[in-house]
Structure 1
Amino acid sequence: MLEPGVIPQKEPRLRVGIVLPEDDQQEIQIEFPSDNSFIMEVDGALADPQPGAQLVLRVAEKGIQIKDSPFVKAEKIVFKQVRGEHGLGVHPVITGRSFHWKKYIMVHLPDKVEITRHKDTLLVVNELNLETYLMCVATSEMGSECPTALIEAQTIVARSWMLANVEQKHISLGIDVCNDDCCQRYQGLNNLTDHSQEGANKTRGKVLLYDGKMVDARYSKACGGVMERFENLWFGDPLPYMKNLKDMPETENAPDLTVEENAREWILGNPEAFCSEAYIPPGDLKKYLGSVDEESRYFRWTVTITNKELTENMNDKLGLHIKAVKDIYPIQRGGSGRMILMGNKVVNQRGEDEELKIKSDYEARRILHKKFLYSSAIVVEKKKIRKDIPGEFILHGAGWGHGAGMCQIGALGMALAGYSAEEILKHYYPGVELTSIYS
């Protein structure tokens, strides 16, 4: 596993969680490639699966049961790739875990796959070299038809974030990262193309450094026109390369979106940012997105939610017993227009008006929609008001995701406009140095 703060001098190996305990999966299906490229070990003993064979693994009373196999109570099952280019099929695997785009897919995993029991669920881990992982991340996060400059920039950002290794969200499971959007989107060899392999090979070992340290290169799908500051989202110390910057050419100055009048005008407007339709026509965007991304508007969008839906979601997510929501409003906005402190006027269990304060962009998005709202940079419109209680709320929003660091759709817009990978990276992470740490 990776060590925090250590810059490797050679390519490291990673452990990536594919199926996690929180997925609560008691069963998984394995499909072997037809080229006899994988061997199988059951508790260290070599098994001999047939090419193209399918296995069903289940949580048993003590260990893992392989359906229709003499190995009834295995503690650990390992699949190792010994030849070939095809991955081991594993399904069902969640993508969009806890988000509105949640789906179940089959993934094809290279190198080494390890399956163990974690309490009453299965844990599936893919161990592989970093550069192989990055080839897959580039076209899991975005589509394989993206311009070369975007693929290269995405690969360098993903490598830098991985090696910075700051959050270590899943270290208790003995893994470096998970396969999904809470870390980085990794769908094995599913979307691997010559283009993404070339992007990884051309940028091999290249990372972003700031003051000699690895850049914590976080990124999101669409900033909405202005990038957010690190400390407004994760409440850590400010990062000098993660600021409020307008996602436009250098000549443009960012408006102060912490001022409510400016934020409303900005969110309800249609400025010509790199992530806007001025750079990427809406009809063209879908072909550049990742395979599990929704065909939607990412720069400006509108969502309608009923009072009943919102009340039920707030009660569920916050463990409350409110009767209705009267209003949603920003108390404090960040420089991208996202709400970092949101106010909610509600009718409590006693029938009295009460103010709930929700701190953080993440929490605001979590409680405003059952399937997680796209962004907290919103302007709220109240409709069907009876006795001071709206029947529904119309949320007009800007951006998709937290908005800090590289804006993936903005980087796409830059690449389509002819900017190089290095120009893209230095636009989204000002002051960084692009360097090679291993070959």
Structure 2
Amino acid sequence: MNQPQIQVGIMAEPVLRFELKGDYQGPAGSGGTRYKATIHRGEIVLSNQWGIMLRGREFVFKPTQDSASFLLKSVTIGIDFHWEQKQDLEFRGSLKLLIDGGKIQLINQLPLEEYLRSVISSEMSASSSPELLKAHAVISRSWLMAQIEKSKKLESQPKSYETNIDTDSERIRWYDREDHRLFDVCADDHCQRYQGISRIISDKANAAIDATSGQFLVSDDQICDARFSKCCGGISENFENVWEPVHHPYLSKVVDAENGGTTCVDLRQEDEAERWIRSSPQAFCNTNNRQVLEQILPDFDQKTKDFYRWQVSYSQSRLAWLIHQRTGIDFGHIIRLEAVSRGHSGRIIKLKITGSKQCRTIGKELEIRRALSQTHLYSSAFVIDHRDIQDGIPQQFVLTGAGWGHGVGLCQIGAAMMGEQGYSYQQILAHYFRGAELKTLY
């Protein structure tokens, strides 16, 4: 196996602006360093700072020196999350422009290991412990190659891949990366956070990539679909409860504590889930150590103060409006929210919404999080209090929850604490991915 070239979808907009830094080989007749790309009559119109225009369906700029880079203007990061914002970002490697869905899609091509240098610094601070950075390098590398292999399998199948079930009584959806047809991975949190060289790539991040170069997590001779989230909330979730109904033994329930913890709770049971979520059990990710959190969280992530346990409150009118806006379903007054089924981490897989106009069940976890927040609810591991009931209709809903993210695989905050406590990256990986092996494949 040789190191692959990775295609990263950076952004798709009707108008794009970028600047070339260093020497690039562009389309014939391009010239210049500053460009604006628009769409006219089904073609890309590419104009430089001198007003010279080119038209076509696709344009490619390839660097002719290793230090060359391109600067993109107003890239949206944290799409649909509570930290969404626009930034100017700089990238190395080639850039490709093409039309897709009435927008100009910009794709960055570069070697896998170079891509990872940015991912490690984009996902967390480069001041993290060396062992955490190494662990994250391995799982990011493994996840990406597993997705590329999965895409190849899906393309070879005659039947289209379905990610939703929509009936009169249920709407069950899961969100992965199967919609990325033109590139291997996107640049945002939907896949892995990739912000090019805009964030400083420190010597520690480079050392972590070099120390683990070509290393992958492997199970049954297949590269592991290694997942991660910010905070599992004390117990990690099974893969099949979040995405497609396929069981991966290495992505199963893990109690996030030393030696696997001593708890034997079954959070699929409503009474045990309620006790667990309303308490604060010991876990690696149960920490208020700001020094550790600042090491692994970029500035905009630090706006979130409560990782392990959190609470949000909605009025009747606010919740009814929010669910209608986010799902497109008019439930009328919201009478009851009820967990139909939960996963091993207490995350709700199916949520029954009973309204004055209709009743419907939604899932999986991200669909639930989207329905109950203007952006994304921190997680679907929550319990509901229906308060101030008037004529059978609650006037207030209080959601008490656990964790941040889907909770599958590595827990970033938990892994950060393990790194600070002296665990090696091999031990961190063995803790979160039970039964997987560490292998060097190139």
- The answer to whether structure 1 residue 60 and structure 2 residue 40 are counterparts is yes
Unaligned stretches of 5+ residues in structure 2: 152-176
**What are the within-5 Å matches in structure 2 for residues 18-417 of structure 1?**
18-20=10-12, 25-33=13-21, 37-42=22-27, 45=28, 47-49=30-32, 53-61=33-41, 62-66=43-47, 68-85=50-67, 87-165=69-147, 168=151, 169=177, 173-191=181-199, 192-250=201-259, 252-254=261-263, 255-277=265-287, 280-282=288-290, 284-296=292-304, 297-348=306-357, 354-417=358-421
Task: Report Cα offsets for 1:159-204 as digits up to 9, x if no partner.
Answer: 0111112554357642111111221111111222222111111100
Residue 282 of structure 1: how far off its partner (Å): 4.0
CA shift for structure 1 position 345: 2.0
Aligned position for 2:7: 15
Equivalent position SS for 2:53: coil
Q: What is the match of residue 6 of structure 1?
A: none
CA contact (8 A) 1:137 1:185 kept: yes
TM-score by length of 2: 0.88
SS at match of 1:402: coil
**Against the structure 1 CA distance between its residues 299 and 282, is the aligned structure 2 distance closer, same or farther, given a 3 Å change threshold?**
farther
Q: Structure 1: how far apart are the matches of 2:318 and 2:23?
A: 48
Deviation of the 1:86 alpha carbon: 5.5
- Of 298-307 and 202-211, the range deviating more from structure 2: 298-307
- Indicate the SS of the match to 1:312: helix
Question: In 1, distance between residues paired with 2:73 and 2:378?
Answer: 27
* Paired letter, 2:296: Y
Residues 350-373 of structure 1, C-alpha deviations (whole Å, 9 max, x = no match): xxxx43212311221111112121
2:35 and 2:46 in contact (8 A); partners too: no
CA positional deviation for 1:312: 2.0
Deviation of residue 386 (structure 1)?
Answer: 2.8
Paired letter, 1:48: G
Report deviation, 1:275.
0.8
Over residues 17-41 of structure 1, what are the superposed CA-to-partner deviations in whole Å (9 max), with x where a residue is unaligned? 0013xxxx211221233xxx23251
Q: CA deviation at 1:290?
A: 3.0
Contact kept, 8 Å, 1:38 with 1:88, in 2: the verdict is: no
Name whichever of 283-292 and 417-426 sits farther off.
283-292
Conservation of the 8 A alpha-carbon contact between 2:254 and 2:260: no
| Residues in 2 aligned to 1:302 and 1:158: alpha-carbon distance in whole angstroms | 31
Greater mean alpha carbon deviation, residues 256-265 or residues 316-325: 316-325
State how far apart, in whole Å, the 2-side matches of 1:341 and 1:171 are: 23
Q: SS in structure 2 opposite 1:424? A: helix
SS at match of 1:274: coil
Q: Deviations over 1:114-142 (max 9, x none)?
A: 11222421100000000000111111111
1:63 CA displacement: 2.1
CA spacing shift, 1:216–1:307, aligned 2, 3 Å: same
Q: How far is the alpha carbon of 1:227 from its aligned partner?
A: 0.5
The 2-side partners of 1:399 and 1:431 are apart by 24
Q: Is the 8 A contact 1:40 1:77 kept in 2?
A: no
Partners of 2:419 and 2:295 lie apart in 1 by 15
How far apart, CA to CA, are the structure 1 residues paired with 2:240 and 2:135? 24
- TM (norm. structure 1) is 0.88
Supply the AA of the counterpart residue of 1:243.
S
Decide whether aligned partners of structure 1 residues 86 and 150 sit closer, same or farther in structure 2, where only a CA change above 3 A counts. Answer: farther
1:84 shift after superposition: 5.0
Q: What amino acid is aligned across from residue 112 of structure 1 in structure 2?
A: S
Q: Structure 1: any 5+ residue segments left out of the alignment? A: 1-8, 349-353
Cα RMSD of the aligned pairs, angstroms, is 2.0
Is the CA contact (8 Å cut-off) linking 1:86 and 1:108 kept in structure 2?
A: no
Report if the CA contact (8 A) 2:125-2:296 is conserved: yes
SS in 1 for 2:366: helix
